[in-house]
Structure 1
């Protein structure tokens, strides 16, 4: 990526390639402002809104384009602002040589957090503000002349003024929200998850075929991920009895039902709507449609009841059915793969491998959809602190990690009350699993003997099955111990049970929540990391491992919120 006309770094924006934060010693040795020689660098790229012509015109032969190779296109016009909290200039032989960072910027302020209560949010949210000195009015016209919203912002820190630009460690990477000027130029900023607050589902055009008829014009097009049971489909062709449940290629249609009674598959799979529409499907059977133009099924007989199906969803780039895979597939609907911390997705696939199913029938944002999947597994997604989108889950603290003691802690450690939902502890967890995406009422279910067993009839009517795990002895000791209830997307009881046990382990008696104020060392750990805190009081005298769940940065002071 380039900033203005000069390359900004040496790799694409969003790729983890800037230097990691310097070794702890470079930060922990200078915890106090009066001793700290660190420099904060701020790089902005607001858009000008100008229009420019293509770099090269396409070659033509007569009236037709000559060849199919694309010609170079210019990047969106923008300007560059390089600022810092104290004047600093890069060296002639640095990655960005001879760049002066004018010392107009106040030290950055931002909050970053992940939830510690299941179901309380999508997780790693970073929100901050920059203030740039504007006493001379030089930036008065900027908010009207340029656009900062969705423009990339990077805040980095050098451990000392003698450091090279290539030594700068990113402490905030995200996007601008808005800005305004008075005595200062104020800039609000957010993590890259802000770019995913856009609609997930495409809309039917009503032009016929796979695009649906006039009755579907403007309605959202369903999407399915993983193993989804009992999903509904959009009747895109009433005459041909073609139903669509995904906007692009799916893995499989496992079964189709009418009023809960299975329909026999005719053994064929069509890879396009046109091929499916031209085929003949025998009465009482169905054919599958799995194509790049959409996926669903076609019935051979007009149904006399509610039509549902069990499907294996999105397969563009390969079929995925675990929590990490589905979240990644959703995020890639809005951002490039280079914006993701892929190692975190690989890790989650290893420790949370259970098959899930997620079906979207109503319009929502990409962020909201990813949140629903994450919350259903007591996980989080978002910016953990390096500008990339990660996934993770809160785990019990282990030994090791960055050690913080009285030498790094700049003020009194403060115990904070646990949220009511998990304090003083959790004694029971109930979870739903094997989601039925379209429960049927009693009159919608085919009668006996078509559906002979009562268990199957109850399964068709219920939204999910339930499992409960508890430790009654905790409630006997703590009468106010809490019970958690959540609806997972897991298909198997074993995976839902494992999640319940994990939450019981995470919230036993004796958990604590602390605010730990430190210097620049507070920028070193990422959200979810284990750190070790030693302090004379509050049960920390011998050192205690804690999980980092929040950072409140105020320049050279960072308040860490820790759980453990």
Structure 2
């Protein structure tokens, strides 16, 4: 290995002062794996945005003559500069002359995957890392003077073509490079001879807690001492039997949501005996008549006030909107608006294919967060997507896109055929124990009851039998089952009722049927390795035809791509395929 200790130099003369110049170190030659019947070799390029902080001190210069005496003038220098580092694993020069020196080492890796458990959010969060060669310390100055923590990272792949006349590998056009990963770098992690950078995909944004409004206990709509420090409740979509937050125990004022909402039913101990009085602009202006309630609703929240002290607990059925007035109905559309408005996710991270109204899941519903604990984007996505068979997946382009996992039926249209002439390796993977052996019964909940109330003194004696039956359990369920599976397996899987955000029984029945088709039979998970030039053609959720010299695969079967693993040194992409 070369030992030249040259460092990143700052340009002078031909380049602007401060511009980064590629190191002059001569890296070791990169081994290129050549596939049979191919004059192409896959390589990767990495772009890392970095920040160079200034060491200047802020000061204001006061103008004389050209401006009014005492008027502050803008400093004549920048507080920090942002630039992009460009590297590759095999050397690359773009068509505009930009060099990508071969400093990417062998530790480059990325993983992505769909969930294979029906009661979870999904999106086995993609993870990976990049390792840069620093033998001899050519990157030392860069590490000391620049910051890359949680700044954009982009990885692309391309193919060099062998030129038989010149006997060299030629570089492709930059526009033909295929995106492999887009996300954030977690910061420098230098070792003696390498620098590692952990990668964070778009799901990183879901790990943060959503901003909330907190009760300060100053009275009226700001709450009393009983709710100091508690977050305001949120209703998004249609929900059943929620418990609104009592914010004023003297005047019997409850907050239903932090945005506009419609109260379709108000219960005291499960009985709808409290009459609606009117909508008001100031809920404290006039007390409602005894035995009735008033409602104040607007972009800043929804409250109700009782005219009589309640004897039993107060619950309500509610249809909630977002503070901006947005009122998506379907669960997936609610999640999209939640990410943008409640979690403040930058719109650039929503994939263009995920529109405000998605036909992927035209199922109405909703969810309620009572404010008793912090809620992350991941938790909210879990609440809204649980049991639906939908994964919120990070794409290779750095966006979030929901993907539906369906049964790989024989007649499904496939993206490609995978046969022994393109498969470089194949091995069996294990399924989660909750999916193998098969499941003989799926129970998918709908109309989730947010306040379970057992029979007894907590319920009004005037509660109807229908309502009493409803409040006694958290979920009603649509069921799919197979007597054959139950008879042929000693211990088939039988999961509990899965709570969902669905409002309709028919939608729950459809999903239960889909789960039955997917997991009501013996499934097998295969790890299939392909040359990277082939592997990059597939996306998670794609159906593929699969034929190989392995048990059950001698005859063509249809499978679905549920995961991918990229290892730079292998020159392959390993797909997890469920058949």
TM-score range, shorter chain: 0.7 to 0.9
Tell me, yes or no, if structure 1 residue 318 matches structure 2 residue 326: yes
Unaligned ranges ≥5, structure 1 = 1-28, 64-73, 93-97
- Alpha-carbon spacing, 1:370–1:51, altered in 2? closer, same or farther (3 Å): farther
Aligned positions of 1:347-366 closer than 5 A: 349-361=358-370, 362-366=373-377
Deviation at 1:191, TM superposition (A): 0.8
Aligned counterpart in structure 2 of residue 331 of structure 1, from 316, 333, 339: 339
The 2-side partners of 1:226 and 1:219 are apart by 22
Deviation at 1:394, TM superposition (A): 1.0
Aligned counterpart in structure 1 of residue 84 of structure 2, from 58, 77, 80: 80
The 1-side partners of 2:68 and 2:306 are apart by 48
Deviation at 1:36, TM superposition (A): 4.1
Partner residue, 1:254: 264
Aligned positions of 1:211-222 closer than 5 A: 211-222=222-233
Partner residue, 1:558: 573
Q: Indicate if the aligned counterparts of 1:201 and 1:221 stay in contact, CA closer than 8 A.
A: no
**Greater RCO, CA 8 A, separation 6+:** 1
The 2-side partners of 1:253 and 1:77 are apart by 52
TM-score, normalising length from structure 2?
Answer: 0.81
The 1-side partners of 2:68 and 2:230 are apart by 42
Q: Indicate if the aligned counterparts of 1:518 and 1:558 stay in contact, CA closer than 8 A.
A: yes
The 2-side partners of 1:459 and 1:446 are apart by 12
Partner residue, 1:447: 460
The 1-side partners of 2:479 and 2:79 are apart by 55
Bigger Rg, which one: 2
The 2-side partners of 1:437 and 1:322 are apart by 19
Q: Indicate if the aligned counterparts of 2:260 and 2:325 stay in contact, CA closer than 8 A.
A: no
Unaligned ranges ≥5, structure 2 = 1-32, 71-77, 161-169
Aligned counterpart in structure 1 of residue 378 of structure 2, from 360, 367, 378: 367
Partner residue, 1:292: 299
Partner residue, 1:406: 420
The 1-side partners of 2:146 and 2:310 are apart by 57
Tell me, yes or no, if structure 1 residue 132 matches structure 2 residue 143: no
Q: Deviations over 1:331-370 (max 9, x none)?
A: 22231222112424668x4243222221112212111211
Matched length: 512
The 1-side partners of 2:560 and 2:109 are apart by 22
Q: Secondary structure of the equivalent of 1:440? A: coil
The 2-side partners of 1:470 and 1:385 are apart by 37
Q: Secondary structure of the equivalent of 1:308? A: strand
Deviation at 1:33, TM superposition (A): 12
The 1-side partners of 2:417 and 2:146 are apart by 44
The 2-side partners of 1:549 and 1:303 are apart by 52
TM-score, normalising length from structure 1?
Answer: 0.83
- Alpha-carbon spacing, 1:299–1:380, altered in 2? closer, same or farther (3 Å): same
Partner residue, 2:474: 463
C-alpha RMSD over aligned residues: 3.2
- Alpha-carbon spacing, 1:445–1:345, altered in 2? closer, same or farther (3 Å): farther
Q: Deviations over 1:92-128 (max 9, x none)?
A: 3xxxxx3221210126311111111212453252100
Q: Indicate if the aligned counterparts of 2:393 and 2:400 stay in contact, CA closer than 8 A.
A: yes
The 1-side partners of 2:137 and 2:524 are apart by 48
Aligned positions of 1:381-396 closer than 5 A: 381-396=392-407
Q: Secondary structure of the equivalent of 1:79? A: strand
Aligned positions of 1:453-532 closer than 5 A: 453-485=464-496, 486-520=498-532, 521-532=534-545
The 2-side partners of 1:484 and 1:75 are apart by 57
Q: Secondary structure of the equivalent of 1:516? A: strand
Partner residue, 1:24: none
Partner residue, 1:303: 310
Q: Indicate if the aligned counterparts of 1:229 and 1:357 stay in contact, CA closer than 8 A.
A: no
Q: Indicate if the aligned counterparts of 2:383 and 2:501 stay in contact, CA closer than 8 A.
A: no
Q: Indicate if the aligned counterparts of 2:268 and 2:460 stay in contact, CA closer than 8 A.
A: no
